[in-house]
Amino acid sequence: MFSARSLFQEIIDNDDSFQLFCSIAASGEAQGGWENGRIAALVPESMRVLAPKITRHGADEDKHGRLFIALLKKRGLEPVPVPPETDYTMLLERKGIGLAHEKLRRDEPLTEQDILVYLSHSRVTEQRAADQMVMLVKYFGDHPEAGRPIRMICHDEDNHLAYCHEELLRLAGAGHGREIQRVLRESALAEIGVYRDVSLAVMAQMGRVLGWPQPKAAALATGIRGVYGYERLGGWRRMVSLTMPERRGALDGPSTPAPEFA
Per-residue model confidence (pLDDT) at position 96: 86
189 within domain boundaries: yes
130 within domain boundaries: yes
Residue 260 has pLDDT above 60, yes or no: no
86 within domain boundaries: yes
Counting the structural domains of the chain, the total is: 1
Query: 197 to each of 69, 91, 204, 237, 241, how far by Cα in Å?
Result: 25, 9, 11, 20, 24
Per-residue pLDDT tens over the stretch 80-97: 999 999 999 999 999 988
245 within domain boundaries: no
The predicted model gives 110-124 an average pLDDT of 97
244 within domain boundaries: no
pTM of the model: 0.93
Q: Which domain holds residue 111?
A: 4-239
Per-residue model confidence (pLDDT) at position 246: 87
Residue 64 has pLDDT above 90, yes or no: yes
262 within domain boundaries: no
CATH of the domain at 46: 1.20.1260.10
Long-range CB contact pairs, 205-212, < 8 A, 24+: 205/20, 205/83, 205/86, 206/11, 206/17, 206/20, 206/21, 209/14, 209/16, 209/17, 209/20, 210/10, 210/11, 210/14, 210/16, 210/17
Per-chain mean pLDDT for the chain: 93
Per-residue pLDDT tens over the stretch 155-168: 999 999 999 999 99
Per-residue model confidence (pLDDT) at position 2: 67
Per-residue pLDDT tens over the stretch 1-29: 567 788 889 999 999 999 999 999 999 99
Per-residue model confidence (pLDDT) at position 262: 44
Structural Rg of the chain based on CA atoms: 18
